[in-house]
Structure 1
Amino acid sequence: MADAPLSVLVAGASGFIGTPLVAALRAAGHHVTTLVRREPTSPYEFRWQPGVADLDPAVVDGADVVVNLAGASIARLPWTAARRRAVRSSRLDATRTLVTAMQRAATPPHAFLSGSASGYYGDRPADRLIESADPGAGFLAEVCTAWEAAASEAPSTTRTVLLRTGLVLGPDGGALAPVLPLTRLGLGSRLGTGGQYWPWISLEDEVAAIVHLCSSEVAGPVNLAGPTPALADHVLRRVAQDLHRPYALTVPETVLRLALRDAADELLLASQLLVPAVLQADGYTFRHATVEQAVDALLG
């Protein structure tokens, strides 16, 4: 299957990762269809309403790969009760809708690549996190655990991959979106001690790794993070250096918690030394092996 064009169905195709993923899959010669929440405007689109209506099993019937990247952004703050419900339900509703369609399909997909996140591990400053590590504690860990459990209900004949994505560094979005404008204004700041590990990955590698996994035989959780660990301080300092701006300020943890509450601990202050053990063992070669290379490619 690795050398043949694949039939790939993508949910979340218009998002920050989904948009370049669809382009990369098509550039590689694969046949790509997408799920949309509006009326389709091409024969390559199918409408779906996760959490509202079932998806026609014919949409997934016979597909080689289904990729699920659907879910409300966790970067939208504050995390009100309503926002927490949206983050959780958007992921579970989408995943359950896809899984139900697969279960009803005459020929279930060969593979299901379903989104998850490094938040699965929680704050683990003392641990080297490979895919066999236990889940952590906190809101994101609870969401990711439920999300992965829903994906794991896919048919037993379907190879299911759980994409535990770290902080994606890319243009016009991703982990650096709130940081870039402040740094350009000369307000580049260390967040807390800066000694927390951030599980970074470039958008280019995120997309290329997912394309790689479409043709792989890997199953189970896969850490999508760069191969060289980096502290938050290293990431933010490199951004300031590339923008030729100062990096002299510090935002104390207490101030971050006052402004963002528990989102500060889970999004900015959590330490996760994520190791892409499964991906590297499967032969994937990173385009950006260090966070410096990733930031330079983004801002250079």
Structure 2
Amino acid sequence: MRVLLAGASGMIGSELRAQLAAAGHTTRRLVRREPTGPDEFRWDPAERSVAAELFDWADGVINLSGSSLQRLPWTRSTKRRILSSRLQATGTLAEGMRRAADPPAVFVSGSAVGYYGDRPGQRLTEAATKGTGFLTDVVDAWEAAARLAPSATRVALARTGVVVGRGGALAPLLPLARAGLAGPLGGGRQHWPWISLHDEAAALIHLLDSTLDGPVNLAAPHPATAGELVKALAQAVRRPYFFPVPRFAIELALQDAGRELLLADQLVVPEKLLGDGFVFRDATVQDAMDRLMEVRAA
């Protein structure tokens, strides 16, 4: 396939490009700077500027563009940037597809499990309703922008949780684990939806050639609690799992970001992916952590 990528320079985007190339797909990347290679094309989401002919060329579009949620704390300006960066990028892509004479067959747009909010005791498939909180409103608006793609384009919304890879949500936890300071966060019993970096990219590629549309949960088939995930990280670096961080300290230090990123309980189930035949390489959090340490050591 010919695949147009937005937000392809980050951790997920880099893995995605490698897997797309290995599978024989041809990619073009949208960049906000001057292009430095034949596969790069400039766009400006803030100005809703992108060349329509790129969408005539593409069979599929994958959108990973958006300001990082890891910029803490969430000040008012940070919250505005989190929302506006997603709406501008996604809206620009949807508008570009509508202007194309021959729009792409599929649009895989990044989304997040934040849609579900804090849902203790609930099994969250793609049929679960919207929760409450800042992230739920962001994801709701983000997905609405993606649905403005032309009717001829299938839209898959990739609701992703914690990606186990070099960077992302694990970036601040790994140094603590290596220093022997890892422990339960807020009690550690809340479920964290997670997926390995390899499986995240593989699932995005799967969605290009699938018939799935609407929200699709990108989460591993074996759920893990925050405690299990951090403990697996500590074990992978051969350090103790001992030092707890109480809930009140997380809320005091990080406020909304702490409550919604670290303390929310979300048992997310990849019902659609499993039903569509997708096979996870890293089914358990220990598998993902062990493989992450192998990659870092290589």
TM-score norm. by structure 1 comes to 0.96
Deviations 1:224-260 (A, max 9, x none): 0000011111111111112121111111100111111
Equivalent residues in 2 for 1:180-195, closer than 5 Å: 180-195=174-189
Instruction: Tell me how far apart the structure 1 counterparts of residues 36 and 225 of structure 2 sit (CA, whole Å).
Output: 44
Deviations 1:66-99 (A, max 9, x none): 0000000001101000000110000000000001
Partner in structure 2 of residue 244 of structure 1? 238
Equivalent residues in 2 for 1:61-72, closer than 5 Å: 61-72=56-67
The alignment's C-alpha RMSD in Å is 0.9
Partner in structure 1 of residue 92 of structure 2? 97
Residue in structure 1 matching 2:121, options 119, 123, 126: 126
Instruction: Tell me how far apart the structure 2 counterparts of residues 241 and 151 of structure 1 sit (CA, whole Å).
Output: 40
Residue in structure 1 matching 2:11, options 12, 16, 19: 16
Deviations 1:169-198 (A, max 9, x none): 002x02211111011111112101110000
Query: Does residue 59 of structure 2 align to residue 25 of structure 1?
Result: no
Residue in structure 2 matching 1:146, options 141, 145, 151: 141
Equivalent residues in 2 for 1:37-56, closer than 5 Å: 37-56=32-51
Instruction: Tell me how far apart the structure 2 counterparts of residues 66 and 34 of structure 1 sit (CA, whole Å).
Output: 10
Q: Unaligned stretches of 5+ in structure 2? A: none
Instruction: Tell me how far apart the structure 2 counterparts of residues 292 and 135 of structure 1 sit (CA, whole Å).
Output: 30
The letter of the residue matching 1:26 is A
Query: Does residue 88 of structure 2 align to residue 88 of structure 1?
Result: no
Query: Does residue 286 of structure 2 align to residue 292 of structure 1?
Result: yes
Deviations 1:237-284 (A, max 9, x none): 111112121111111100111111111110000010000000011110
Instruction: Tell me how far apart the structure 2 counterparts of residues 98 and 247 of structure 1 sit (CA, whole Å).
Output: 44
Contact in 1 for aligned 2:48/2:88 (Cα 8 Å)? no
Q: 1 or 2, which has the higher helix percentage?
A: 2
Give 1:53 deviation, angstroms.
3.8
Instruction: Tell me how far apart the structure 2 counterparts of residues 140 and 249 of structure 1 sit (CA, whole Å).
Output: 28
Instruction: Tell me how far apart the structure 2 counterparts of residues 41 and 175 of structure 1 sit (CA, whole Å).
Output: 29
Q: Unaligned stretches of 5+ in structure 1? A: 1-5
SS at match of 2:188: coil
Instruction: Tell me how far apart the structure 2 counterparts of residues 10 and 27 of structure 1 sit (CA, whole Å).
Output: 16
The letter of the residue matching 2:129 is D
SS at match of 1:280: helix
Instruction: Tell me how far apart the structure 2 counterparts of residues 244 and 62 of structure 1 sit (CA, whole Å).
Output: 49
The letter of the residue matching 1:269 is L
Residue in structure 1 matching 2:192, options 174, 198, 207: 198
Percent identity, please: 56
Corresponding pairs, count: 294
TM-score norm. by structure 2 comes to 0.97
SS at match of 2:47: coil
Instruction: Tell me how far apart the structure 1 counterparts of residues 205 and 239 of structure 2 sit (CA, whole Å).
Output: 36
Structure 1, 185-194 or 54-63: larger mean CA deviation:
54-63
